Amino acid sequence: MAAVLLVLCSGEAVAEMGLFSISQKLTETAARSYLLSHMSQAVNEELQAEKNALVDLNRTGNGEISAVSANTAALNALKAGVLSRLEKSLNGTVTAWIPVGSLTEIGIFNGRGPGVPVKLKLESSVDVSFQTEFCSAGVNQSCHRITMTVTASAYSQSQRFEALVEEHTETVLAETVVIGEVPDVALTES
């Protein structure tokens, strides 16, 4: 029994020494990784759950696209869903993982081995914005694109594992090529 207790205490002492070797940069990298993975997960889950079309196409009598417009109700529902998911997953006590090799001071082991859990108390803020653009896609063709940008910043208020990180991701939500009629005659200036 005493031997088991000695082994457990020794293991705890080694683990504590390893945790002291975690630098602020390493903590920030782990927090950044946590932030990015949850941002991507929230966007993917909301896009899969979204049932409404994000873009409405208006057509002429011939079936040609005459106008492209964003479905603002669907975009606002998507924004609300992403914000809600991220508020739940990015605030409070979270677990970030640091490879055990990074806890040693041996360069060849850096970034390798199983993950060691590090508990961070995160306070986060998230912003979701949309950009829409028209760009040329060829002769008498235009491309309409809607992009969603998610920006998140997180602060770990732990004295031991302090971190302040900010990340953003961009997702193309819709891309439509509008084809117009090609003119029969091309006029040039002389």
pLDDT tens, position by position, 61-108: 777 766 777 788 888 999 999 999 999 888 888 777 777 777 666 667
Residue 97 confidence (pLDDT) = 76
Q: Per-residue pLDDT averaged across 171-178, rounded?
A: 81
Q: Where are the alpha helices (DSSP H) in the chain?
A: 2-20, 24-49, 72-90
Domain that holds residue 97: 19-179
174 found inside a domain: yes
Per-residue pLDDT at 157: 76
Continuous segment of H or E residues that includes residue 154: strand 141-156
Max CA separation in the chain (angstroms): 99
In a domain, 185, yes or no: no
For residue 81, the model assigns a pLDDT of 93
Res 10: pLDDT? 55
Q: In total, how many domains does the chain have?
A: 1
- For residue 45, being part of any structural domain is answered with yes
Q: What contacts 102, CB < 8 A, 6 or more positions away? A: 22, 26, 109, 110, 111, 112
The answer to the question of residue 186 being in a domain is: no
78 assigned to some structural domain: yes
In a domain, 8, yes or no: no
The pLDDT tens digits for 112-170 are: 778 777 787 888 899 999 998 877 766 667 777 889 999 999 888 776 667 788 999 99
- Residues 9-35 have a mean pLDDT of 65
Calculate the dihedral angle through the C-alpha atoms of 62, 64, 69, 70, rounding to the nearest 10 degrees. 110
pTM, entire model: 0.69
Question: What pLDDT score does 43 carry?
Answer: 92
- What pLDDT does residue 181 have? 61
Query: How does pLDDT run across 30-51, given as a tens digit for each residue?
Result: 788 888 999 999 999 998 887 8
Does residue 12 belong to any structural domain of this protein?
no
Assess if residue 146 is contained within a domain.
Answer: yes
pLDDT above 60: residue 8: no
